[in-house]
Amino acid sequence: MEKIFINGNIVTMDSTIKEAHAVYIKDNIISKVGSNEDILKYKNPSTEIIDLKNKTMLPGFIDSHMHLINFGESLQKCDLRGVKSIDELIEKTKNFIKEKNLTSKDWILGEGWNHDMFKEKRLPNKQDLDKITTEIPISLTRTCLHLTVINSKAIDICDIKSHIGKVKGGQIDIDKDENPNGVIRENAIKLINSNIPTPSKEEIKKMILDGISIALSKGITSIHSDDLDSISGVGYKEIINIYEELVENDELPLKIYQQCRVNSVEDLNDFIDNNYNNYKGSDFFKLGPIKLFTDGSLGSRTANLREPYNDDPTTKGIAIYSQDELDQLIMKSHNIGLSIAVHCIGDKAMDMTFDSIKKAYARNPRGDVRHGIVHAQITDHELMSNFKIYDVIGYVQPIFLNYDVHIVDNRLGKERASTTYNWKTMMDKGIRIPFSSDCPVETLDVMKGIYSAVTRKDLEGYPKDGWMNDQRVSVENAIYNYTVNGAYAAFEEDCKGSITEGKVADLVVLEDDILTIDKDKIKDIEIDMTFVNGKLKYKKF
C-alpha cells in the first residue's frame, strides 16, 4: 500500500520539520514528509494520490483516558444529557419506556443527567422515579458515573436497605426515617449493577464498535480505555478475550491501550498470577497501567478533599482506600514494573497517592515506569510540584470546563479554586498532561476539548473572557497534548504522536485550519478524514 498526500497544510508536531505540504506513506508507515515536489518523486503507477486541497492534516488524536465500553453501553440507554428539570427527566424516561416497550422483566437504564442544571437544584430521589413507574426497576446514573438514583422497585430488588452504612468506599443516602432515599454513591453502585442482566459477548463487542465508530468520526486513532471492570458479571479476562477476538478477526479499527482497573490487592495479585503484567498484545490492543480509583467526582461531592466542601460543610467527600491499602497497591505495581494511573480529583486523594508514590520510589528508585494521576483537578502549588518531582503524568480533561466553570467557585470557594485546573502552570513546570475526555462523562469530541483548553469557556461561550483565563494554553500545546503526550503516556512516542518519518500513519484531516481560525470556532471544526495505519477509517460525506 502506497499513498501520497499533496497540497496539504501539514501540522507535523515534529519540531525538526519547519514546513510540509505532502506526506508519502508506504506499508502503513510515514516514509517521507516534505514539499509536493519532493514527495511526488516517490510516485509510481500503483500509488494512490490524495489531494488535500489545502486542508489541515494532523497526527491522529489520542484520547488518553476514557471508558469505551461504558460509552458504547450508554448509547443504548435513555440519554438524559441536557435535561433541565426533574419533571423533564421523568417525562423523558417515560417516553424511553414507550419507545423500547419495556416491561417488568426489564431494567430502565438512563445516564447523563446533572442536577446542577436542574431548575430544582437538587438530586432526584426514589419518590421522583416512582412517578415514572413502580413496576419496573429504574437506575438513572449522573453524568459523572459516580452517583445513581433508583426507584423503590430497584431498592427492593437490590436489598439496598440491608446494606446501609456497610459499603466500604460507598454510600447509601437515607431519608429522615433512615430508609434509602434512592441516591446511591460510589462503590454502593455495585449493589445495583450486580442485579442488572449481563450483556453477551456479542453485545459487548457491539458496544466497543459503536463507540469506536464515533471516535473515528472525531479524528481519534488511539484510545486509552478503562474497561476491565466496566460490566458487572463480566471478568477482566473476558474483556481482554473480547478485544483479542476483535483483533484476530481484523475487526478493531483503531488502537486500544487498556488502563487495567483493579479494586483490591487480591485483584492485582490475580492479574499478576495470570502473567498479564508481561502481556505482549499487538499494535491494536495492549495492556497499559494499573488503574485505581481513590475518590469520586466534584459534581457529586464525592471527590476526597482536605477540607469540607464550601457549599456543603458536612462532607469532605469519599476515600475509596485507606492510606495503607493504597500503599500496598501502588508499591506492588511499582515493584514489578507496572505503571499506575490513579483516579484522583480531590486534593486529599492526590496527597494520599503522592504519599504512596514517594514510598514506592524510596524503596525502589526505578526509572522504567510512568505513573500518572487521572483528572488531577483540585491541585495547589505543592501538588503541582510533586508531579514534576516524581515525573508523574497528569491525565486531564479540558472538556470538564463545560460544566465545572459553573460550579467550582461555589463547591470549593474562590481561594481553593484559584489553583485548580491549572494546565498552563503545569505545562510551564514541565509536567506532561496528555488530554482526554473521560467519555461518556463528557463528549469525546476533540475539537471541543481543544476549544475548552484554549478559551477556558463552556460550549455556549461562558464566561465571555474565559474562566481563570491566565490558564489558557495555546492551540499548538493543546494539539501536542492530544498527540505527542498521549503517545508518551503509552511508551509509544517513538512510533506515533507526530507526522515523522518512521512513525505509523495515524492521521486526521480537518475541514478548517485549526491554527488560524477564530478560537471560539474551534469547537465547530469538522473532521474530513481519519486514517489508521494509512487506511481510511472515516470520511465525511
pLDDT at 142: 96
Is 104 part of a structural domain of the chain? yes
Is 482 part of a structural domain of the chain? no
Is 314 part of a structural domain of the chain? yes
Same-domain pairing of 81 and 50: no
Residue whose C-alpha cell reads 488518553 in the numeric block: 64
Same-domain pairing of 430 and 401: yes
Q: Which of 259, 419, 402, 285 is nearest to 350 (CA)?
A: 419
Same-domain pairing of 398 and 517: no
Is 422 part of a structural domain of the chain? yes
Domain boundary pick from 175, 193, 211: 193
Same-domain pairing of 526 and 456: no
Is 481 part of a structural domain of the chain? no
Same-domain pairing of 99 and 188: yes
CA dihedral 422, 424, 425, 426 (to 10 degrees): 80
pLDDT at 34: 98
Same-domain pairing of 102 and 178: yes
* CATH number of the domain encompassing residue 107: 3.10.310.70
Same-domain pairing of 82 and 177: yes
Is 426 part of a structural domain of the chain? yes
Domain boundary pick from 439, 473, 507: 473
Is 215 part of a structural domain of the chain? no
d(CA 29, CA 270): 37
481 CB neighbour count, 10 Å cutoff? 27
pLDDT at 541: 84
Residue-range definition of the domain harbouring residue 122: 74-193
Low-confidence ranges of the chain (pLDDT < 70): none
The count of domains in the chain is 3
ω into 137 cis (within 30 of 0): no
* CATH number of the domain encompassing residue 405: 3.20.20.140
Q: Which of 294, 296, 289 is nearest to 228 (CA)?
A: 289
pLDDT at 52: 99
Is 391 part of a structural domain of the chain? yes
* CATH number of the domain encompassing residue 1: 2.30.40.10
Same-domain pairing of 45 and 86: no
Same-domain pairing of 158 and 306: no
d(CA 98, CA 103): 10
Same-domain pairing of 34 and 78: no
Same-domain pairing of 457 and 322: yes
